[in-house]
Chain A
Amino acid sequence: MIGRIDGLPEAEFRQRKELAEQTLLRHGVTFAVYSDERAGVERVFPFDLIPRLIAEHEWTHLDAGLRQRIEALEAFLGDVYGDARCVAEGIVPKEMIEASSGFLPQMKGIRPPGGVRIHIAGVDLIQAPDGQFLVLEDNLRTPSGVSYVLENRAVMKRIFPKIFQEARVLPVVDYPLRLVNALASVAPDGRDEPRVVILTPGPYNSAYFEHSFLARRMGCELVEGRDLFVSDDRVWVKTTRGAQPVEVIYRRIDDAFLDPEAFRKDSVLGVPGLMHVYAKGNVTLANGVGNGVADDKAIYPFVPDLIRFYLDQDPILGQVETFICSRPKECDHVLANLDKLVVKTVDEAGGYGMLIGPQASKAERDDFAARIRKSPRKYIAQPRIELSTSPTWTGERAEPRRVDLRPYVVSGKTRWVLPGGLSRVALREGSYVVNSSQGGGSKDTWVLASRPTGGGSDL
């Protein structure tokens, strides 16, 4: 495959790259960057034309490992907000759970419709130099990025139709259909043809493109908080024909903003009274409320034990060794080895609030040491894993750049893993940061079937 792309004359490659960028801009495949001075500025997510390749046998292993991991985390959430067996049996310390900002005690005893809390998971993986995939982070709240996977694929097929005909790439195009079916399968009991809506914070949110994209592809309505209201223990949407009931809400709003009566009083994005309806089991919220406790960076080190505890299985996927600063011994180790470790704030996502020890100045390390001593609970540390690289077009030639991989796991009555996922690439030479908000880009991820896929097209 790479051989085919390599075989393109450079001028033609440049021309196709230009075409790809124009297509993305024309389609409005954009995101807004918070750090940009002008609010609501749209940019095209930088896109690398050279695909990242994964063999099917490798993928089969990943697929099984991801299913196992999500099953265990789902059981953990049910347990945390249920009988807390994991605490009683000493698997996870009680204070670790209670100190997590993602843990919401109000959710205790609430069983969501269908018993599902992790409808969509975006698990960040890295590939160690020996080729083994390791879990870096579980995103179980509102993982984003899947629209880029689908749009990137559409662009690639347009730009390289011939290469596609020869490669046997597993299709990703059915993701929206799988998702809407999964969500409908866990609607509150006894509702035929449930109304599924996507709740967005609005057009100025950085991921608005994705919200709108998914609504279109899933055939759902895209709503804002002000379109919904609660009455008679039900959620309703304001329509041109009066109020209509809503059964399933795929919400792209954080827990804290969901319901001003239950959480942040100043939230204008949410729906007053929503948590009351959720507690009654009359609305499905995807993902569930309070999932943050399970993807907390401080809970992460316990996940292999949780898999053994709930499933009685050995973990299929490895993960990165992690030091928990709230444990005095491990904290001392971290402070003594700051120049070798990557320190992360447990509540921050998107590459904000982290220290990459080997690249940091002494002043930066001293600053972090002080912060860790002040509130150790907020920090964890990991050895820097040498991320594997993938050939990436730099504007002049293909050079190795570091990549990670975020596959998506969709769960309703059944569970499904999108073959491939978002490969994020650190576009700057030497950089480890792949987040779109911090100068990262993306590339298409091809899971190559070992047998022909039947000649079908996925568009």
Chain B
Amino acid sequence: MISRVAESCFWLMRYVERCDADARLLRVHSGMVLDTVLPRERAWRPLLIVEGEEPAFDERFGRSASGDGEVVQRYLTWDPGCSVSILSSLRMARENARTVRETISLEMWNSLNAFWLWMCSDVARAVYDDERAAFYEEVSNRCHLFEGISHNTMLHEEPFDFMKLGLNLERAGQTTRILDLQHHALQGKALLPDEAVGAAEWIAILRTCSAYEPFFKKVRGTLDGPSVAQFLLHEAAFPGSVLHTLTRAKNFLNRIRPADVPGIGSASSELLDRLHAYVDALDMDKVLHDGIHEVLTYIVDSIAEVSQAIGQDYFYAVPTVGAPAVPGPAEA
């Protein structure tokens, strides 16, 4: 498929996944803040840190504004100047979809366009004002609807594979960042079994990853940092775990990599394989001892490297004509 179109497919799904992750994070976090007695500063600031928006936010509103939940939520939900706000992510998703409308299914476009029109409507504002949790739920539901429609209406071939690859890499990164949230809340202390983080925080993390009930089906009786980290990093059966999403990303990248054209795609496949093997082999005791923040940072950085390599291999490669791999004019 055309490289530019592949790139848009890849990003289209990443942005939708990002909308969903942000909505879950904001919904759960507002709920959690009510359950805990964190100082105002500690309550909302971690969200800005996890999103990488700390400096931009401070410059716009001043550091003290990060204690105001309303300001932070408005910023991460509606602010067009914030590149990771739900509004911005959705706009980017739609822009990407618009440039590949001929590739995605009609149902996908209709669903995403309706989502965008709803987001821009007074109705959405009213729900946001009156019933915050319902608003974020609606955003998440519409993201899931779109992903489901994609799965059921699009040809399962290369464009689809690029979308799923983007979705899974994005989800792996989001889970990793959300797990790191508690680390930020603890202001840099290592995550150890006896750490005095309340059950409310762990439950919030699980709920942010839609992992609350799945966790208790798999893990009985324990709710602490190591068990949560183990579950979100390693639980192969949980669709949001880092291992599960990387495994799926690996499968989709394998499908994409052209078997009959040697040389294309080796860099990205190698990097992803290496990251997958690293996560698979993680020894949780050692991780907790060495400091989970470093491990999580390594995973996030590696995902960025894999993305870059995918770009180099499939989106921006300088094509050469006449190389043995390319069908020459005589065969065409």
- A and B physically associate: yes
Which residues of the partner chain B approach A240 to less than 8 Å between Cβ atoms? Answer: 1-3, 6, 158, 162, 256, 258, 264, 314-315
Given contacts A26-B110, A27-B110, A224-B4, contact A191 B332 (CB under 8 A): yes
Asked if A203 and B95 make an inter-chain contact with CB atoms under 8 angstroms apart, the answer reads yes
Which residues of the partner chain A approach B102 to less than 8 Å between Cβ atoms? Answer: 212-213, 215-216, 220-222
Number of interface residues of A (CB under 8 A): 33
Which residues of the partner chain B approach A234 to less than 8 Å between Cβ atoms? Answer: 321, 329
Residue in B2, B95, B321 whose CB lies within 8 Å of A223: B2
CB-CB contacts below 8 Å: A228-248 with B = 229, 231-232, 234, 236-245
Which residues of the partner chain A approach B321 to less than 8 Å between Cβ atoms? Answer: 231-232, 234, 236, 243
Verify if B325 is at the interface (C-beta below 8 Å from A).
Answer: yes
Give 1 or 0 for each of A36-54: 1 = CB within 8 Å of chain B CB: 0000000000000000000
Asked if B4 and A243 make an inter-chain contact with CB atoms under 8 angstroms apart, the answer reads no
Residue in A203, A221, A243 whose CB lies within 8 Å of B99: A203
Residue in B95, B110, B162, B323 whose CB lies within 8 Å of A242: B323
Asked if B101 and A212 make an inter-chain contact with CB atoms under 8 angstroms apart, the answer reads yes
Residue in B5, B106, B322 whose CB lies within 8 Å of A232: B322
Asked if A237 and B2 make an inter-chain contact with CB atoms under 8 angstroms apart, the answer reads yes
Q: Which residue of A lies closest to B106 (CB)?
A: A216
Verify if A336 is at the interface (C-beta below 8 Å from B).
Answer: no
Asked if B1 and A242 make an inter-chain contact with CB atoms under 8 angstroms apart, the answer reads no
Verify if A266 is at the interface (C-beta below 8 Å from B).
Answer: no
Which residues of the partner chain B approach A223 to less than 8 Å between Cβ atoms? Answer: 2, 4
Verify if A227 is at the interface (C-beta below 8 Å from B).
Answer: yes
A234 nearest CB across to chain B (Å):
6
A287 nearest CB across to chain B (Å):
20
CA distance A223 to B158 in the complex (A): 17
Asked if B261 and A227 make an inter-chain contact with CB atoms under 8 angstroms apart, the answer reads no
Verify if B320 is at the interface (C-beta below 8 Å from A).
Answer: yes
Which residues of the partner chain B approach A213 to less than 8 Å between Cβ atoms? Answer: 101-102
CB-CB contacts below 8 Å: A203-223 with B = 203, 208, 212-213, 215-216, 220-223
Asked if B117 and A238 make an inter-chain contact with CB atoms under 8 angstroms apart, the answer reads no
Give 1 or 0 for each of A244-287: 1 = CB within 8 Å of chain B CB: 11000000000000000000000000000000000000000000
Q: Which residue of A lies closest to B329 (CB)?
A: A234
Verify if B113 is at the interface (C-beta below 8 Å from A).
Answer: yes
The 8 tightest CB contacts between A and B, nearest first, are A215-B102, A243-B319, A231-B321, A216-B102, A212-B101, A240-B314, A245-B332, A222-B102
Which B residues form the contact surface with A (CB < 8 A)?
Answer: 1-6, 95, 98-103, 106, 109-110, 113-114, 117, 158, 162, 256, 258, 261, 264, 314-315, 317, 319-323, 325-327, 329, 332
Which A residues form the contact surface with B (CB < 8 A)?
Answer: 25-28, 191, 202-203, 208, 212-213, 215-216, 220-224, 226-227, 229, 231-232, 234, 236-245
